[in-house]
Structure 1
Amino acid sequence: MTTVEEVVEVAVPVRTAYNQWTQFKSFPRFMSAVKRVEQINPAVTRWVIGIGPLHREFKAEIVEQRPDSHLVWQSLERSPYHRGTVSFRSVAPDRTVMTVRIETTRRGLRDAVTNGLGVTRRVVRAELRNFKEYIEGLGEESGAWRASIHNGHVLPLEPEPPRSRVPRWPVG
């Protein structure tokens, strides 16, 4: 198993970084290796990725997701298998540290050569820089998905706190 971990700090609030990251269909706009993402259901996506002549299509399941905290996914195909985590940590009101960790299994000569040359690490690093430029350029997210997922199951949205029932009297 090969593990890659990369960290980037983005100049947006944690909520903004997290919200944009949940917009998987937008990934091809800023990630050069991601060609297409289809949201099959809230917990399953289909990805088409490619670098040069190498292209792969796979489905991934989100197994754990907590707004403004983290997202964990795993490929549904066993060959090649990968599992990933992206975590979000606020370091200031307008700054977020994102950590991406991806674990892959080596299957065959092509994967061994790719991992052996550090291609996966370089791609993850470059794509995180692309995300940083994209979200900082926008300054705000283009959408959001705020539900939680646990063990691959979507949990009900937490209710918003009740609004005050104290009447407000006109001033003046």
Structure 2
Amino acid sequence: MSRVEESIDVDAPVRVVYDQWATFEDFPKFMDGVEEVTQLDERHAHWRTRIAGLSREFETEVVDRVPDERVAWRTTGRSVKHTGTVEFEPLGATRTRVRMTMDFQPTGLAEKAADRLGVLGIQVRGDLRRFKRFIEAPATGTGPGSAPEAG
């Protein structure tokens, strides 16, 4: 099993960062290779991905969720095997550290080759950078700041 650990600091309060990360349907807006995420119920989601030329469909289950602190998941089924945790650490009132850890079991020749080349680490680093740009984007109609806050 391979492990990837990456983190990034985001200029947004932990509540905003956590709430956006917990909105799985928005992942295609900042995760390269994620084509669609459909929330099935409170804990389960169906994913369609295309990463490094490999198309996959799989389901995940949230196994731990602590608002403003962490979300942990695992895949279900046999086609894709990975687990992960994203932790959110407030760095003051308007800044948050996002730390992602993923364990991945490559299957098949192509996935094993991609794993040896460090493709997952490159993917995660890029996704975190895109998430940072997405969450920090001014209200342009595309980021989380684009809709008025209820309250």
TM-score calculated relative to the size of structure 2:
0.89
Q: Matched residues in 2 for 1:88 and 1:106: separation?
A: 27
Describe the SS at the equivalent of 2:137: helix
Q: Which residue in the other structure is 2:79 paired with? A: 79
Q: Which residue in the other structure is 1:5 paired with? A: 5
The letter of the residue matching 2:40 is: I
Q: Is this contact kept in 1: 2:5–2:102, CA < 8 A?
A: yes
Q: Which residue in the other structure is 2:92 paired with? A: 92
Once the 2 structures are TM-superposed, how far is the Cα of residue 80 of structure 1 from its aligned partner? 2.8
Q: Matched residues in 1 for 2:105 and 2:42: separation?
A: 26
Q: Which residue in the other structure is 2:61 paired with? A: 61
Q: Matched residues in 2 for 1:36 and 1:79: separation?
A: 17
The letter of the residue matching 2:99 is: T
The letter of the residue matching 1:120 is: L
Once the 2 structures are TM-superposed, how far is the Cα of residue 138 of structure 1 from its aligned partner? 4.3
The letter of the residue matching 1:67 is: P
Q: Matched residues in 1 for 2:32 and 2:110: separation?
A: 20
Are residues 1:33 and 2:30 paired?
A: no
The letter of the residue matching 1:69 is: E
Q: Which residue in the other structure is 2:22 paired with? A: 22
The letter of the residue matching 1:66 is: V
How big is each residue's C-alpha offset from its partner over 1:23-46, in whole Å with a ceiling of 9 and x where there is no partner? 111111122211000000010000
Q: Computing the radius of gyration over CA atoms, which structure comes out larger, 1 or 2? A: 1
Q: Which residue in the other structure is 2:107 paired with? A: 107
Q: Is this contact kept in 1: 2:58–2:79, CA < 8 A?
A: no
Percent identical among aligned pairs is 36
Q: Matched residues in 2 for 1:136 and 1:21: separation?
A: 13
Describe the SS at the equivalent of 1:130: helix
Aligned residue pairs: how many? 143
Gaps of 5+ in 2: none
Describe the SS at the equivalent of 2:91: strand
Q: Matched residues in 1 for 2:91 and 2:62: separation?
A: 26
Q: Matched residues in 1 for 2:34 and 2:110: separation?
A: 19
Q: Is this contact kept in 2: 1:19–1:141, CA < 8 A?
A: no
For the aligned residue pairs, the C-alpha RMSD in angstroms reads 1.6
Q: Matched residues in 2 for 1:138 and 1:36: separation?
A: 24
Q: Is this contact kept in 1: 2:58–2:80, CA < 8 A?
A: no
The letter of the residue matching 2:137 is: G
Runs of 4+ aligned residues of structure 1 deviating over 3 Å after TM superposition are 138-143
TM-score calculated relative to the size of structure 1:
0.79
